[in-house]
Structures are given as structure tokens and as C-alpha cells.
Amino acid sequence: MLYAFLCYNDEDAVFSWSQAQDAAVMAALDAVHKPLEKAGRFGPAVRLMPTTAATTLRKDSDPPLVLDGPYAETKEQLLGFYVIDCDDLEAALTVAKDLAKANPGGAYEVRPLRLFLPGSFAKEALPPGAAASGKAVSGEAAAE
């Protein structure tokens, strides 16, 4: 079963990390990603820009309302996500615990997928920072 790992953390803290701290977290996460990749279980992974870069379209009015900022004002913010193939919830929680050891603070919401469309990005069309290679994508993966 495919599970989404929604990564929540305090973005004030995450964006206060020094470059060295950020790199250390990334390296620790990479060690968790690698075996999953090798086993063919590692799906798309995304690290989001801070919520200050977000815009929200409220579609409960007509015309929809466009607002600056994230949908929800929360103590921890959604800062990224993974899609990982896991046998069951126990296996998914094991992955989440490994990720948590590499990157403490905040929370992972583990949620099974109902539909997965792998998308049509050619490698060249990948967003900045992810364009170098397939491996770079996992390197960029949701540090939060």
C-alpha cells in the first residue's frame, strides 16, 4: 500500500537552521531514503518553500477568494511530503520513526493513498534544485 508521509514542523525553527545543520539533517535523511530507494519503495518526495511563498484559493465562494499564506494557520506547518510503499501501517510507522530519528521535532502524519497518479514530468521539467538527476530529487526530499 502507498502511504503519504506529511511532514509537519515549526518553520521558524527549520528556517533558522544554519546551512551546516540543514546539510546534516539532509545527510541523515538520505541514509534513511537510500535503502527504501534500493527496495523500490521510495516514491516522489517534496520539500516545500516556506508558507510565506504560499497562496490559498478559497473555493467556497464564487468567485473563489485568493488569500496570501497557507490554508491553515498552525503551530507546525506542512513543509513537505513523501510517498512510500509500505506493507502495512506497522511498516509505515517504522519508516516514520527512522525519519524522525534523522530529523527530530514536529510530526509526520502517515496516511494511506486513495489514488496515485505518477505524473508526467520529464526530468528536464523538474523544479529548481531537483533538476540535476533522479538522485537529487531524493536529496531534496522533505527534510521537515
Smallest gap from Cβ 23 to another protein, in A, equals 10
Of the residues 52, 58, 113, 125, which one makes contact with another protein according to CB under 8 A = 52
Q: Does 65 interact with another protein (rule: CB under 8 A)? A: no
CA torsion angle 78 84 88 91 (round to 10) = -90
Q: Does 53 interact with another protein (rule: CB under 8 A)? A: yes
Q: Which runs of E-coded beta strand occur in 20-124?
A: 42-47, 55-58, 65-68, 77-85, 107-112
Amino acid at 12: D
Q: Does 31 interact with another protein (rule: CB under 8 A)? A: no
Smallest gap from Cβ 26 to another protein, in A, equals 10
Q: Is 41 exposed, middle or buried (0-12, 13-18, 19+ CB in 10 A)?
A: middle
What is each CA distance from 143 to 7, 14, 31, 82, 131, in whole angstroms? 8, 9, 12, 10, 18
Q: Does 74 interact with another protein (rule: CB under 8 A)? A: no
62 vs 73 by CB, closer to another protein: 73
Of the residues 1, 31, 39, 55, which one makes contact with another protein according to CB under 8 A = 55
State the residues that interact with another protein by CB under 8 A: 10-17, 21, 24-25, 28, 49-53, 55, 66-69, 73, 75, 103-105, 127-129
